[in-house]
């Protein structure tokens, strides 16, 4: 019998009802209304205009710049986050000196308040900040980090510092679930470390890696908070993200462009996640 026909199904639905109502009220219904407004000429008159709002959006240079910067940031930061967190987890899974202290250190960025993070990074990358002071001490020229192309790399470093710890924990949990007998058998058969990593570690870490990639992509779209607090409403062009554009549209009460941009952003995230699900499913079938 199907799960929803079980005798305890009404009780389960009763417990799920508050969460379902909250999700519908605060996420699903506003999103559906936003999609509807993106095809209207006004949030008050609500006359259907077809794709006009989207045509104006793609004709906007500010939107194209924000979209490119957002995609560029995700394309660079997510693979870096994946590689670095997996490498650190691999190191922490071995008999490394001060391993327990290092595990704690990687978790600290998750519990530090955002205001403190912003204050620290402003002190580091200000024109008169610590980084420029160190560079001057070594005879190098100062860099105006947040007003040049270097701002993009500052935000990437902030993203990695903030999110790499949680991914290390996930990878570390996945590594510890791999039976050590597999590695011992591979060593007896003459497999080197690279072969063991490719044929054992990566294979058994596939579900964890799939989850980490999705989580990293989602977090890369949420870097606006730190960027906004560090650089303000109108940062350097290299870190002008989609959320900056939508925030500015909200400030100017241009609801049509705001909802159209939000719809495009949500659709892109959905397509990326669906593509990752399909890729993971095909990889699993290939391994079977």
pLDDT the model gives residue 43: 64
Two structure tokens written together for 110: 């998750």
Share the mean pLDDT of the chain: 83
- Helical packing angle, 224-231 and 114-125, nearest 10°: 50
pLDDT surpasses 60 at 26 = yes
Residue 79's pLDDT band (cuts 50, 70, 90):
very high
Residue 103's pLDDT band (cuts 50, 70, 90):
low
Question: Would you say the pTM of this structure is higher than 0.85?
Answer: no
Summarize the confidence of residues 27-51 as an average pLDDT.
83
Give the whole-number percent of the chain exceeding pLDDT 90.
13
pLDDT surpasses 90 at 68 = yes
CB-based contact 223:118 (threshold 8 Å): no
pLDDT the model gives residue 6: 66
pLDDT digits (tens, 9 = 90+) for 155-176: 998 889 888 888 988 898 888 8
pLDDT surpasses 80 at 151 = yes
Q: Which helix (H) or strand (E) holds 288?
A: none
Q: What is the DSSP letter of 191?
A: -
Which of the pair, 112 or 35, is modelled with greater confidence?
A: 35
pLDDT the model gives residue 83: 92
Residue with tokens 């993106």: 38
- The CA-atom distances, in angstroms, between 216 and each of 27, 51, 80, 212 are 21, 32, 10, 6
Which of the pair, 107 or 263, is modelled with greater confidence?
A: 263
pLDDT the model gives residue 73: 93
pLDDT the model gives residue 72: 92
Domains belonging to the chain, first-starting first, are: 60-287 (1.10.3720.10)
Task: Give the alpha-carbon dihedral of 2, 8, 13, 19, to 10 degrees.
Answer: -120
Residue 115's pLDDT band (cuts 50, 70, 90):
confident
pLDDT the model gives residue 1: 46
pLDDT digits (tens, 9 = 90+) for 189-227: 887 878 888 888 888 888 888 889 998 998 888 888 878
pLDDT the model gives residue 84: 92
Residue 160 CA to residue 86 CA, distance in Å, equals 13
């Amino acid at each position: 019998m199907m799960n929803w026909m079980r005798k305890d199904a009404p009780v389960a639905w009763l417990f799920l009802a508050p969460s379902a109502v909250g999700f519908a009220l605060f996420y699903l219904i506003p999103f559906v209304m936003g999609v509807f407004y993106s095809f209207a000429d006004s949030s008050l008159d609500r006359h259907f205009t077809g794709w006009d709002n989207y045509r104006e959006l793609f004709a906007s240079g500010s939107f194209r710049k924000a979209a490119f910067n957002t995609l560029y940031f995700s394309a660079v930061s997510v693979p870096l986050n994946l590689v670095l967190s997996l490498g650190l987890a691999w190191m922490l899974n071995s008999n490394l000196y001060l391993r327990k202290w290092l595990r704690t250190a990687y978790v600290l960025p998750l519990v530090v308040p955002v205001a403190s993070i912003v204050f620290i990074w402003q002190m580091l990358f200000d024109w008169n900040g610590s980084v420029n002071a160190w560079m001057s001490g070594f005879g190098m020229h100062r860099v105006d980090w947040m007003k040049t192309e270097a701002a993009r790399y500052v935000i990437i470093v902030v993203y990695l510092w903030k999110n790499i710890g949680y991914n290390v924990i996930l990878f570390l949990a996945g590594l510890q679930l791999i039976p050590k007998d597999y590695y011992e058998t591979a060593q007896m058969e003459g497999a080197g470390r690279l072969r063991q990593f490719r044929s054992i570690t990566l294979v058994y870490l596939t579900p964890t890696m799939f989850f980490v990639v999705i989580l990293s992509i989602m977090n890369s779209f949420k870097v606006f908070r730190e960027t906004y607090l560090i650089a303000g409403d109108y940062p350097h062009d290299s870190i002008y993200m989609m959320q900056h554009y939508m925030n500015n549209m909200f400030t100017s009460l241009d609801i049509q462009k705001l909802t159209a941009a939000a719809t495009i952003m949500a659709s892109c995230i959905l397509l990326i996640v669906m593509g990752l699900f399909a890729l993971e499913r095909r990889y699993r079938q290939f391994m079977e």
